[in-house]
Structure 1
């Protein structure tokens, strides 16, 4: 019997990266998991990974959906309840730094990029929380949000809208934690630093540029003192810890930073990412 046996988890953005690793950890520890993403092929890769690890098909609910839409959100909640009958844990992991198609950065980015960035990184979390709330009240459940060290307090001129969204998400985590603990629901978050996932590729950068990105920062101790990029499972382990009522019961409304020491030195601010990525 795993520690999450009999519990049901929704993990947004679980077709790759941190979400995929979290789904694997939860499922291997006995949970029913709803995995989801917009890319059907990558989501199927996650499902196959779960199956190959010994997770039963009956414990997996795979849903191709866009979490930024009301239809997608409803589909996630409704199919989860239909298959598993309850919801115990919501992991709001889906997120991305959306780039301006014209290549503009900083204050000149199109306002449409702002709206899309906040819709994915903040509004979708708010809406999923609202829709999951009655079911989490019933189960005295947990919510784990995935934020980022870009939330501050250091400036992020190269990713202004993404930083705004994550800073707002941190405040949303704190505020909902106090609002929902009266119902027995715990809310916390994790703030990753540099993690080697498909995050850079999702920004539209080719593989060679992504490699430059993930090779540069660990090679500079003023950026990552640990001298390594994080791996998805490093963050997934924190998510699982925060979702475990026995291990983290007295943690309410907090964000655990997992960044290899980056926020202790923040040398990343001294480097221009566009210079790093130049051919």
Structure 2
């Protein structure tokens, strides 16, 4: 497929996980792609995977950058436009959470952790979108934000700061969608549930701990009704759908929930109520 032929896509957080899968998918479907991340080794792995799938080097720009800095963001926008001439698609995927070394959660977790998560998960999205705005308006482009079901109505005491940033990101998606559609730019988002991405080690979890947790959740229908965690490509396909104006042109300011049914279940609904009511 070449549905993104002639398009230029910038995918943040593309050295691993959802961002990597998205960068690869866009490139394979015809886009020229800027991939970025702080880990140069993992970023190079993404680039090599793209090249090995038959994509010419001229279609891939790998930029190591700290997205939390103005300098890093300027570098991403300026070098992308310099190399490819324009920008059609911005995927704000980079995100993080922090595990407290002492196991503190909720209000007991240091506010310094909140500041760090907010800077990456929300502030960088706002400022990078601001920097990309004029280019996106000129191209009548698309913005796809990667949120999370953690930003929904349910409480998230164990990851409160992370959940707060995703709730705010959802509001940013809605508000910018209305602000930019007058200029021909669409803004939408995807809210994944459990996805095996390799984020565990990046946020301070022991090696393999996140994957172990995902396996546990898969065995509990009250956590994952579909019985399996998502893979990065599952979310990348939704991002591509939202960036494809032929397929999703009438979707404005919405978030597609992709969580295997997790957000539809309340704990009480997983109990066998018939058995409970008929038991002596």
Highest CA radius of gyration, 1 or 2?
2
After TM superposition, the structure 1 = structure 2 runs for residues 90-169 of structure 1, keeping only pairs within 5 Å, are 90-169=90-169
Separation (CA, whole Å) in 2 of partners of 1:212 and 1:38: 26
Task: Kindly state the Cα deviation for residue 100 of structure 1 after the two structures are TM-superposed.
Answer: 2.4
Separation (CA, whole Å) in 2 of partners of 1:266 and 1:72: 42
Tell me the equivalent position of 1:274.
Answer: none
Tell me the equivalent position of 1:63.
Answer: 63
CA deviation profile, 1:218-263 (whole Å, cap 9, x unmatched): 1101100000000000000000000001000000000000000000
Q: Do 2:99 and 2:205's aligned partners in 1 also have CA atoms closer than 8 Å? A: no
Q: Do 2:219 and 2:227's aligned partners in 1 also have CA atoms closer than 8 Å? A: yes
Task: Kindly state the Cα deviation for residue 266 of structure 1 after the two structures are TM-superposed.
Answer: 4.8
Q: Do 1:14 and 1:36's aligned partners in 2 also have CA atoms closer than 8 Å? A: yes
After TM superposition, the structure 1 = structure 2 runs for residues 184-199 of structure 1, keeping only pairs within 5 Å, are 184-199=184-199
CA deviation profile, 1:75-109 (whole Å, cap 9, x unmatched): 10011011100000000000011222333111111
Tell me the equivalent position of 1:39.
Answer: 39
Residue 245 to residue 191, structure 1, CA distance change in 2 (3 Å):
same
3-state SS in 2 of match to 1:189:
strand
Tell me the equivalent position of 1:219.
Answer: 219
Separation (CA, whole Å) in 1 of partners of 2:257 and 2:200: 20
Separation (CA, whole Å) in 1 of partners of 2:199 and 2:222: 22
Alignment size in residue pairs? 269
Tell me the equivalent position of 1:201.
Answer: 201
For normalisation by structure 1, the TM-score amounts to: 0.94
Tell me the equivalent position of 1:275.
Answer: none
Tell me the equivalent position of 2:273.
Answer: none
For normalisation by structure 2, the TM-score amounts to: 0.94
Task: Kindly state the Cα deviation for residue 210 of structure 1 after the two structures are TM-superposed.
Answer: 2.2
Q: Do 2:47 and 2:62's aligned partners in 1 also have CA atoms closer than 8 Å? A: yes
Separation (CA, whole Å) in 2 of partners of 1:49 and 1:212: 26
1:246 aligns with 2:246: yes
Separation (CA, whole Å) in 1 of partners of 2:27 and 2:240: 11
3-state SS in 2 of match to 1:207:
coil
More deviation in 198-207 or 182-191? Answer: 198-207
Task: Kindly state the Cα deviation for residue 200 of structure 1 after the two structures are TM-superposed.
Answer: 1.6
Q: Do 1:223 and 1:266's aligned partners in 2 also have CA atoms closer than 8 Å? A: no
3-state SS in 2 of match to 1:131:
helix
Separation (CA, whole Å) in 1 of partners of 2:232 and 2:248: 21
3-state SS in 1 of match to 2:144:
strand
Tell me the equivalent position of 2:74.
Answer: 74
Task: Kindly state the Cα deviation for residue 53 of structure 1 after the two structures are TM-superposed.
Answer: 0.7
Task: Kindly state the Cα deviation for residue 111 of structure 1 after the two structures are TM-superposed.
Answer: 0.8
